[in-house]
Amino acid sequence: MKEHLRKLGIKEINSGVCTGQVWYGAEGRITESFSPIDGELIAKVKNASKSDYEKVMIKAEEAFKIWSGYPAPKRGEIVRQIGEELRKNKEELGYLITLEMGKIYQEGLGEVQEMIDICDFAVGQSRLLNGFTMHSERRDHRLYDQYHPLGIVGLITSFNFPVAVWAWNSMIAAIAGDVVVWKPSSKTPLCAVAVHNIIRKVLKDNDLPEGIFNLVTAGSSVLGNTFLEDKRVRLFSITGSTAVGKKSAEIIGKRLGKTILELGGNNAVIISENCDIGMAIKAVVFGAVGTCGQRCTSTRRIIVHEKIYERIKKHLITAYSNLKVGNPLDPSVLVGPLVDISAVRNFTNALKDLKNEGGKILHGGQKLEGEDYASGNYVVPVLAEAENHYKIVQEETFAPILYMMKYRSIEEAIELNNGVPQGLSSSIFTLNIQEAEKFLSEAGSDCGIANVNIGTSGAEIGGAFGGEKDTGSGRESGSDSWKQYMRRQTNTINYSNELSLAQGIKFGF
């Protein structure tokens, strides 16, 4: 462990305040980061005070004036170099993600690969920040729109993807000419420190100004609403619970700030009688127990056709019985720990609520004890039968609990899929083209992501990521999501010798 931490520049006590190249002597309290694997202390981070935050914001403002003037392909070249540094540090950073967050090592490596992939995507996008030219209704006029850098982008991330979400937003913001101020989860501050240690070399080697990529590690009890209320922050991208998103959006909305909100998910998989059962089972199990059920795209519900319900139930009980829960650094382990004791408490409370509402646990639910599970964060993933209307089913429990329910018609299945407050990811397994197309139509899934013959989790960076309803608004990562990080401007050029008014208006004097 010590060698991995040393390579990432992680010390016994680390500053949580950085402006890209410079680490500041943070004046706030110290956060101790304990591993959910064994409960042991990894390292400490000194948090930012309000005065630290102000220093960072001043540097960010100064940097934006310079960075926004760089040609976009030049900004893309910096992002390309960041991607190369991430490649060099993939194993060490993947290890730290597992150590501090608890997901299995293969998933930790996968998260770093997402960072690398979005860098590659952003490099190409830096040459495609293209506007649109239209025909003007006025003779000898040119009408077009274009995109300019927006400003300071505020980024608030969750523990479950402690670095990938930073990359999704920061790399796109960077090629757009923006600067980023990142407030990471207090549960995974070391991952954020490591990322800034990795990119520091690129920024220094290219003689870039302080303030392009900024880190402010601080508790809400210290910053309060200061960050959200700050008019200097033009756009906020926030990942968290629906409750956090609603509160944040209200504060930001009062000053008419812009937001990208990636909040709760309550994702369902419809399993048709016309499906490939083997494919469906694999997708459901990974979707439900991967990252110990702590993905916003984790599979929470499966809606199974009544004709194959018992077969699917039998297959899943067998699959769940063979899952190995344990140390996520062990290559044979498929399910690591929950992130902390509060997550375990939410898990056990949800199961109590499920039983009280009439649900039935088919497998799992135990909290694992013993020397190998000394942190107290290990649980056996749950497979249960429930009704969609149960209060606990309508909520998102960030833990490995999968609810089974039946359907008769594709219309009923879609109604169940849509019958929750959240609208992030969804999936159907079917070989019937009519069912697949109906699921993807305007009468189908109401989620931001809808898949056919692939699970709810594991989104690619090339597609826009985000959802509807209580999941929030806006999109991160690929497709044309870059437009949210830029200021759109419509331009008209009159190259005639006359002043013509739109809509043929005559105004003489």
Q: Which residues are catalytic?
A: 262, 296
Rounded-to-integer distance, Cα 68 and Cα 209, Å: 12
Helix (H) or strand (E) holding 55: helix 50-67
Amino acid (1-letter code) at residue 491: N
Both tokens of 28, joined, read 């706030």
- Alpha-carbon distance of 213 to 63, in angstroms, equals 9
Q: Would you say 141 and 500 are in contact if contact means Cβ atoms under 8 Å apart? A: yes
Q: Which residues of 277-303 are buried (b: 16+ CB within 10 A; e: fewer)?
A: eeebbebbbbbbbbbbbbbbbbbbbbb
**H or E segment at 62?**
helix 50-67
Give the DSSP letter string of 82-126.
HHHHHHHTHHHHHHHHHHHH---HHHHHHHHHHHHHHHHHHHHHT
Residue 116, Ramachandran bin (φ over 0: left; ψ between -120 and 50: alpha; else beta): alpha
Q: Please check whether residue 230 is in contact with residue 202, taking contact to mean a CB–CB distance below 8 angstroms.
A: no
Cβ burial, residue 268 (10 Å; 0-12/13-18/19+): buried
Q: Are 194 and 96 in contact (CB under 8 A)?
A: yes
Distance between CA 2 and CA 424 in Å, rounded? 39
Report strand pairing: 179-183 vs 152-156: parallel
**Structure-block tokens of residue 496:** 């005639």
**Gap between the Cα atoms of 68 and 83, Å rounded:** 21
Strand intervals (E) in 422-469:
422-423, 425-429, 449-452, 464-465, 468-469
CB 491 within 8 A of CB 147: no
φ/ψ of 504, rounded to 5, equals: 70, 20
| Tokens matching residue 457 | 């989790």
Q: Are 267 and 300 in contact (CB under 8 A)?
A: yes
Beta-bridged to residue 361, according to DSSP, are 384
Residue recorded with tokens 């930790």:
108
Strands 468-469 and 422-423 come out as: antiparallel
